[in-house]
A = this chain, B = another copy of it.
């Protein structure tokens, strides 16, 4: 008399975690800074809460107060669970503060330790500075070796720590000049928010790969943030983006703009539009929600299909599904219901647990799906594991047909600019054609938006300029705007080399 057995390890922590992420690319960081307000750290905490989707593993805040100097707190876990406690926030006084949320550093050998959590702080001969970094330094290994040889002691496994050591060794006296010195040695993508006792500083790399915006709050407050949604939460007004290659230094209520780098044609990360940024953010003057909806419209034009229902894979596929439904005239419906009691965690080591995760987080709305030809709209396919699982759920529920429409081109190349991607061989699109993927997923049809279609959706009416692309789209095209120095040294093969 055999009993029904539960799934293996149904209660491992990881089995409960969300896995929207497991089959997604992940932004590694969000940065935020504010000056000229009372209890600045409180604003930073709110801002980081709004940026939590950019990094959910840990967060940190540094503030400066003339009476007690620099103070910092770094914690694992969600902002709302740590930086909401009066007892903690009282240790972070002052009118100037910066903060950081992080996912995890690709380069770390193992689990993140608290010493890897930013902002990093350094005391220099003319005073101290704290920095928070979004992006990835592609020559960090080489820089670290050089700095250790000269006697620097690293405290973390983070590539971002190089910046503060380079600053400490700069022959310049003042922090902005030290930072210029340091960042000129750095290759890769970076949006940095930094602070001294009196200054709030923001910098973007010359290509402007990662976002950074400027906001105003009250008469004399200034804000720097990865996204505009974090301005909204504190009631700040969006002023403009920090420009690619620009350094802004805010002091005594005034902003000074510097341009310390050799100018270059901007290459903003197009995946910020597809997935990373929040739909209520404005990037480069464009609504992320509207862009995603427009991707759905383009998809419906590029890859129409006769069906009964357009159904988003929640939550990131929703705007594109709305656009697809509108353009196609096929009814929109919630065929998949998300359990809102799952956090958006990504610590899932095995494929088996990942697969189980889907059942914990998502359930099929059987009554809606049954007997219907369903178009599932998702934002991307990375490993394909989640897509296969969702397809099975839909078919188990009695769908007549399943058609996948993907709101991004096939993800075939890893990102080295601050996004966590699997090794290339684990990317489904790196080893299979679209038709092979369709067979692998065993669906009735599978279509990705074209690269040109994606460019049109972000407003480039003529599509992608192949000779000089308007965005960084390396994850789709393999066209890397900055050479991945450390990775090449480790044997990574560029497209040209294939």
**Chain A positions near chain B (C-beta within 8 angstroms):** 1-6, 10-13, 15-16, 36-39, 42-43, 45-46, 49-50, 52-53, 56, 78-80, 83-86, 89, 95, 115, 122-125, 145, 148-155, 164-165, 168-170, 217-221, 229, 232-235, 278-280, 282, 287, 289-290, 293, 315, 318-319, 322, 326, 331-334, 337, 339-344, 359-360, 363-368
Contacts and interface: CB of A to CB of B under 8 A. Distances in A.
A51 B122 CA distance: 34
Given A6-B43, A125-B145, A289-B337, 10 more contacts: A3-B36, A3-B95, A3-B221, A12-B84, A50-B363, A123-B154, A125-B148, A148-B168, A153-B153, A290-B368
A6 B232 contact: no
Nearest to A39: B6
A350 B170 CA distance: 45
Contacts of A331: 326
B16 A366 contact: no
B334 A153 contact: no
Nearest to A149: B125
A2 B168 CA distance: 35
A360 B38 contact: no
B1 A79 contact: no
Contacts of A43: 6
Nearest to A282: B367
B278 A337 contact: yes
Contact of A280 (B45, B219, B363): B363
B125 A4 contact: no
Contacts of A315: 340
Contacts of A122: 153
Contacts of A318: 334
A154 to B, nearest CB: 6
